[in-house]
Structure 1
């Protein structure tokens, strides 16, 4: 990939908001872009003018995106330097253009960037969306699989979805991009450890005559063991659960020091 492509990849596709009505929507769109690594936000004739304090507040410190916002007087000016443009809409259009979902549009935009071509995503007005004339400037239409009974989608929400799919398209798997995963501090329990847990629990249950009538004990034991096995315990889980069973048996604990300095293995609390 050449230097031009790397530069385009760093910014990602341009996001163009056409005549946004509310500063809050501009700010939350900038925040959504920052969440997923998009940098190039362009605004066409914002209704309430510019700059906008409400937009700045809604951006929630996404300054690296917000401070680069560029204003344009027409859609044509805003998209002039783009070589590939998709237009977002939730309504059917009588236009002979390919229609894609966000997940399939994102890798196509990456392919254009690899070829040194700057892509962009066009978003319409909160109330009426994009006009047919504006959509005609686009190469393809992108829409979302939303419920047709309520097709209205906030512009910043739409930006968030497209931005997510953009970032997701650059990862081998969704999990690759996660900030953190659950870290297991304990290895999976061995079969020997699980067998020790089973037998410990069964002895404790025998002591309180849980298995009644006695002839049903084998089937109940098999059910209990199957339940415990499905839990996929770690060795720490097994130790903890055996400690619980021992406490229910009121078995002695490890020696501990009383307030007077003497040692005890009793589970009873000190008054």
Structure 2
């Protein structure tokens, strides 16, 4: 392994760095080279969502070229929601526009924003989609913002390891660039994704019960819009509990089945 000096100290497991979440990765070699790219810049938290060829994977081990601390501590999840449940700030990588309103960051600004999340006492991560298709809209909806790399528009294809390497490099480079005080003062810690998802499910369950979603075909898009709206607000754990209390209070005063008089999109 050219360039590796075993005599020098390196990172240890658990050091503060963003989680790298690979959603439905297809090839073990891609997982291994992504792990190698991570460790080059001190990242060790690798999470896999439903890897196509299962886990553990011998091809991933070989391709990691000695990034054992990453490979040996990989965590595997069935869904993206489970993989990000303990995080309170998540970026989604995408090379194409999405039909949803989210902040869009370049890699350098994204790295600074990740540093800010840790400086505020939170935990952060970055989602990477399958090699052939990228992230599904429902995965992107779980994120607080989108990360897009400004590439040659006539040839904007990055493989998985390249994308992970680029973001890991920007994270490492931003180490000394984050201001000490970058976040506004807030009461309480940032809400985790698990807490936000429980709130979303609570709200959507009551909206279903009271007839808000009039047609099944419009429901997925409306749900994503609602989640994106609250996701952009950067709620704290206390704010999530407050909103859940608001929903519960409103439900007690509105009989089930009594929904809006008009279609949510304005149609009669």
TM-score (norm 1): 0.60
35, 52, 60: which one aligns with 1:55: 60
- Partner residue of 1:65? 70
- Counterparts of 1:41-190 in structure 2, within 5 Å, are 41-171=46-176
Native 8 Å contact 2:131 2:159 kept in 1: yes
Residues 23, 80 of structure 2: 8 Å contact kept: yes
CA distance, structure 1, for counterparts of residue 14 and residue 101 of structure 2: 29
- In structure 2, relative to structure 1, the CA distance for the partners of 1:9 and 1:46 (3 Å cut) is closer
**CA positional deviation for 1:105:** 0.8
Give the RMSD, CA atoms, in angstroms: 1.8
The alpha-carbon deviation at position 9 of structure 1 amounts to 8.1
CA distance in 2, matches of 1:9, 1:171: 20
C-alpha separation between the residues in 2 aligned to 1:85 and 1:9?
Answer: 18
**SS of residue matched to 1:43:** strand
Partner Cα distance (1:20, 1:128) in 2: 10
CA distance in 1, matches of 2:54, 2:113: 34
Count matched residues.
167
Flag the 1:117–1:8 CA change in 2: closer, same or farther, 3 A.
farther
Equivalent pair of 2:13/2:44 in contact (CA under 8 Å): no
Instruction: Say which one has the larger Rg.
Output: 1
1:18 aligns with 2:10: no
Tell me by how many angstroms 1:169 deviates: 0.1
What is the SS of the residue equivalent to 1:163? helix
8 A Cα contact 1:11 1:39, kept in partner: no
Q: What CA distance in whole angstroms lies between the structure 2 residues aligned with 1:77 and 1:152? A: 28
TM-score by length of 2: 0.60
- In 2, the alpha carbon distance for the partners of 1:9 and 1:66 equals 14
The separation in 2 between residues aligned to 1:152 and 1:50, in whole angstroms, is 26
